[in-house]
Structure 1
């Protein structure tokens, strides 16, 4: 169940199952309210300049596609959003900007990515939830193998993951990602790295070395203290883990209830 609410400042929040999923201000596409969305945008901003072919797995109010259109005009983008009713409501309340090249397909992630051509995307952004959890089938080695197929040779995948303070679930997701795209890093707020609360971590992977220094520079602009970890520092932070496969995958842990509360360690 979704709700679309506009506030007194002209911004609109899309909530699903009581949890805010997207915030859009039509007059300011660079206003990114949620911390993990700021981290996704920071990584994108570190990937050079000019248009990017981006596939988004998960759409909601299409905050990030709007941001990419604004910061990189002419970028061809595909949004895989299975909830056609939500997309229709968002289009009514928040029309897409003029001149956009955003195509929305009413398909879930695995089905939608499987239908894409090889070597067709510079970036794949995975920000998809079902019942307020990352679906199990978007966490596996098989899934990341198909994402890698779709990416350019130097392409990048960005994934919004969520986990308890112990990071055991996200450690297995990272292991699955690294098995297919071995150059990885992760971005999160400092409190999350310190295992103080449930929260979001952005995982990034590629076949080629990532522009770590530039990503660090972009993330430093975030209003909340955040940190980028890669290499041995990331391994230490997450710990060792076996990658999820299609045979044993689980959805991410459910968020704290009621919505809006942190689950503290």
Structure 2
């Protein structure tokens, strides 16, 4: 029996890519944090899908609330925090989640049940078929880094082809000063998309501390910024990228 309801003991399980733990939130009766190898992953409140704990999830949630998606593709699943939010906001939206870790998906499905309209499948985003979608959310990590196979110019082109003309791509990045990875990834996405922007805490974008950065491309909505947030695009983004070069595919 899963931990939903009144069971509040932590749950530990070996998954394909490490060891997972579901840790109960003592302040919220159906709140759980997923950790993999001790690293906190998305938080889920089964009673309130709109409750988002981590700052990057709050930022992504703010972006999601500005669009009206009909078909959503999630690359990377975790605890399905954002698919649950979208199902709550837009119950008719068709959602597909591609996650590499079969054991993690099985644990989440068993212990943190999710709406039936969310379709989950095991696969590597780099090799999977990317169906036409008007919202693509990419949250793919190996450890603390985005794998090279999903951060090249050819994969950026695949994302562009999968996205509808008025669609939105949102990519969760994590970086440390001087934000070399973010500069390269922004340059890479700009080879496929005309409109690209970065959203993050101002201190992160200024290179004062490590943190998450959301890369947006396509039909980027007007975003109301928080007191300490910043968004850059256009000429300001070009200046931020500087001499960083797009990441090309490795020779075959």
Q: TM-score, normalised by structure 1?
A: 0.82
Answering whether residue 130 of structure 2 is matched by residue 116 of structure 1, we say yes
CA distance in 1, matches of 2:220, 2:85: 22
- 1:210 offset after TM fit, Å? 2.8
Note the 1:106-145 alignment, pairs <5 A: 106-112=122-128, 115-117=129-131, 120-145=132-157
- 1:198 offset after TM fit, Å? 1.3
Pick aligned residue for 1:236 from 218, 231, 239: 239
CA distance in 2, matches of 1:193, 1:171: 10
Q: TM-score, normalised by structure 2?
A: 0.86
Unaligned runs of 5+ in 1: 249-265
* Equivalent residue number for residue 59 of structure 2: 39
* Equivalent residue number for residue 4 of structure 2: none
Pick aligned residue for 1:210 from 220, 232, 235: 220
- 1:235 offset after TM fit, Å? 2.5
* Equivalent residue number for residue 48 of structure 2: 28
CA distance in 2, matches of 1:135, 1:186: 19
Answering whether residue 194 of structure 2 is matched by residue 182 of structure 1, we say yes
1:150-185 deviations in Å (ceiling 9; x for gaps): 111222211011111101111111111010012011
- 1:116 offset after TM fit, Å? 3.1
* Equivalent residue number for residue 163 of structure 1: 175
CA distance in 1, matches of 2:160, 2:152: 12
* Equivalent residue number for residue 163 of structure 2: 151
CA distance in 2, matches of 1:153, 1:161: 23
Unaligned runs of 5+ in 2: 1-17
* Equivalent residue number for residue 14 of structure 2: none
Q: Contact 1:189/1:226 (CA < 8 Å) preserved in 2?
A: yes
Q: More strand per residue: 1 or 2?
A: 2
How many aligned positions are there?
Answer: 231
* Equivalent residue number for residue 74 of structure 1: 92
* Equivalent residue number for residue 113 of structure 2: 95
CA distance in 1, matches of 2:177, 2:185: 15
Higher relative contact order (CA closer than 8 Å, sequence separation 6+): 1
CA distance in 2, matches of 1:24, 1:80: 18
Q: Contact 1:14/1:61 (CA < 8 Å) preserved in 2?
A: yes
CA-based RMSD of the aligned residues comes to: 1.6
After TM superposition, which residue ranges in structure 1, 4 or more long, deviate above 3 angstroms? none
Answering whether residue 97 of structure 2 is matched by residue 86 of structure 1, we say no
